[in-house]
Chain A
Amino acid sequence: MVRFENVSKTYDGQQALSGVDFEAGRGELLFITGASGAGKSTLLKLIYRAIRPDEGTITVNGAAINGMGARHVPGLRRSIGVVFQDFRLLSGKTIYENVALAMRIRGAAERALKPQVMETLKMVGLRHKADCFPDTLSGGEQQRAVIARAIVAEPVLLLADEPTGNLDPDTSAGIMRIFKDINARGTTVIIATHNRDLYTGTGRRIMRLASGKIERLDVG
């Protein structure tokens, strides 16, 4: 589903990733871990083409995205659900509208929208906050809203950047269960996290990054 071949990325001459090679298979649930600044977010951003590599080839869902023309980028991004580390909720829209937006962008019919959005909000425990604006939500609630937006349209690939950074252990476990469910239904899931609890005992692959390089691959 996702393949990196010798991918490097620098920001203003400062190395963020160097020579990264890995592949996440279709239907896999893969963890990426590593210290703060190791390059986890950079790696995920490369996948949804928020940034472009200096070197190497990135293949997503069978398409080489390096040379991809600008007009194909929206299509690529619509096949991916992203839990942004910095949330990116639209402050002028309610939680319901923020989540519905992901469906609208994908051209969902207005009628099909409501049940699916409400169902997803229920999954993350935010049904009662549907009509609230993001600013009035706690950090953890906002994070769950972002998760709802990422999964509502059932993408083929889900990228979660520190999805439990603001959540207590119980809520984190709940969110992890949702990710596993989605993964069980066929979605490839890549989770970047410091949170050991998420991956220990899962039996899934864990890719450890250190200073922009893959340090080692483990199994949780």
Chain B
Amino acid sequence: MSHPGSAIAGIWKEKWINLLSVFSIGVGLFILLISMLIVYNLNFFASKLQGRFSMTVYLDDGISAPDLARMQGAIRSNPAVGSVSYISKAEALAELKKSMKDSAYLFEGLDGNPLPASLDIRLKRGDATDAMVRGLAAQIKAMRGAVDVEYGAKFLDTIESVISGARSAGLAFLAALLGGVLFVCYSTVKILFYRRRDEVETLGLLGATAWFIRAPFLIEGSVLGVAGGLLASAAGYAVFDVFLAGFAGALPVFRYMQTPVYFLGLLPLAGLFIGFSGALMALGRIKF
């Protein structure tokens, strides 16, 4: 029996311990998957929020063309700004009418256009800090032809800091989980090694090298990790497929949930890595 052979025999001989540990690893990796999903989605929403980060400058009806051009120039040259578009009074009204077409009667008898023209500024993702946005707003407000500047910096900042707090907590939790799964692999292999210490001693007396002795245990640790990973993947697949599909219809929150399928493939790989490392740590130095 070669190393894989004796590893399989070893796994079978201690099937209950191994089953238990595969199950624990599976549960750990499944929770890991869920927290990875949460962190991933928080990142995703955070990036979306930053993308929507915008500022609107309401213009005086009587703004002169040179003043408008100067204002646009100043805005464009600001490093936090991604793009600037001019929305005329007519466009603003058309937009409003379109969004309220069920209540079109409201606009009957309306003569003239009460809406101001505006500049719609999209800020660069990530690059726009709170201070920069505040500075830009103050700068524009001081210019001739600007009536008001509106931006949701405060609100967005709050959301963003909540998200980044949750993200850090999620990452810490993830690290703790990884540690936990590693510990399960470590202790399982430690137990298996302890139970077979007579055999290990005999192998040593027969002249086996440390790596010869370690090999079946390393294979066992890796197999346990991969098996746990597959279990977690299967559970994850069920959740993605059944649970989310059902909920997405009912609860709008889930409709925007990102479920990257490659996460499922990562779990057995993570299991392999953790199982192998845990086993390696459990074996340590082999004494002769």
The residues of A with any CB-CB pair to B shorter than 8 Å are 48-50, 70, 73-80, 82, 84, 88, 90, 92-93, 97, 100-102, 104-106, 110, 149
The 8 Å CB contact of A105, one of B13, B210, B212, B287, is B212
1/0 contact string of B244-281 vs chain A (CB within 8 Å): 00000000000000000000000000000000000000
Q: Which of B76-84, B85-93, B130-138, B200-208 contacts A (4 or more CB under 8 A)?
A: B200-208
Contact in complex: B205, A88 (CB < 8 Å) = yes
Contact in complex: A105, B9 (CB < 8 Å) = no
Contact in complex: A90, B205 (CB < 8 Å) = no
Q: Hey, which chain A residues are within 8 Å of B288, CB to CB?
A: 49, 70, 73-74
Contact in complex: B202, A78 (CB < 8 Å) = no
Q: For the complex, what is the distance from the CA of A73 to the CA of B213, rounded to whole Å?
A: 14
Q: Hey, which chain B residues are within 8 Å of A88, CB to CB?
A: 198, 202, 205
Task: Determine how close the nearest CB of chain A comes to the CB of B35; give it in whole angstroms.
Answer: 40
Q: Count the B residues whose beta carbon is within 8 Å of the partner chain — how many? A: 20
The 8 Å CB contact of A101, one of B198, B204, B206, B210, is B206
Q: For the complex, what is the distance from the CA of A50 to the CA of B6, rounded to whole Å?
A: 25
Residues 176-222 (chain B) with a chain A CB within 8 angstroms: 198-199, 202-210, 212
Say yes or no: is B1 at the interface (Cβ < 8 Å to chain A).
Answer: yes
Identity of the chain B residue whose Cβ is nearest the Cβ of A70 in the assembled complex: B288
Identity of the chain A residue whose Cβ is nearest the Cβ of B202 in the assembled complex: A88
Identity of the chain B residue whose Cβ is nearest the Cβ of A89 in the assembled complex: B202
Q: For the complex, what is the distance from the CA of A104 to the CA of B199, rounded to whole Å?
A: 15
Contact in complex: A105, B208 (CB < 8 Å) = yes
Say yes or no: is B2 at the interface (Cβ < 8 Å to chain A).
Answer: yes
Further contacts, 8 of them, CB under 8 A, given A70-B287, A104-B2: A48-B205, A50-B205, A74-B210, A88-B198, A92-B9, A92-B199, A97-B1, A105-B212
Contact in complex: A102, B205 (CB < 8 Å) = no
Task: Determine how close the nearest CB of chain A comes to the CB of B222; give it in whole angstroms.
Answer: 20
Q: Hey, which chain A residues are within 8 Å of B212, CB to CB?
A: 105
Q: For the complex, what is the distance from the CA of A79 to the CA of B206, rounded to whole Å?
A: 10
Task: Determine how close the nearest CB of chain A comes to the CB of B5; give it in whole angstroms.
Answer: 9
21 CB-based A-B contacts, threshold 8 Å: A48-B205, A50-B205, A70-B288, A73-B288, A74-B204, A74-B207, A74-B210, A76-B207, A77-B204, A78-B207, A82-B205, A84-B205, A90-B202, A92-B10, A92-B13, A92-B199, A93-B1, A93-B6, A100-B1, A105-B206, A149-B206
Q: For the complex, what is the distance from the CA of A63 to the CA of B147, rounded to whole Å?
A: 96
Name the residue in B1, B198, B199, B288 with the highest tally of chain A Cβ atoms < 10 Å from its Cβ: B288
Task: Determine how close the nearest CB of chain A comes to the CB of B154; give it in whole angstroms.
Answer: 66
1/0 contact string of B1-37 vs chain A (CB within 8 Å): 1100010011001000000000000000000000000
Q: Hey, which chain A residues are within 8 Å of B203, CB to CB?
A: 101, 105
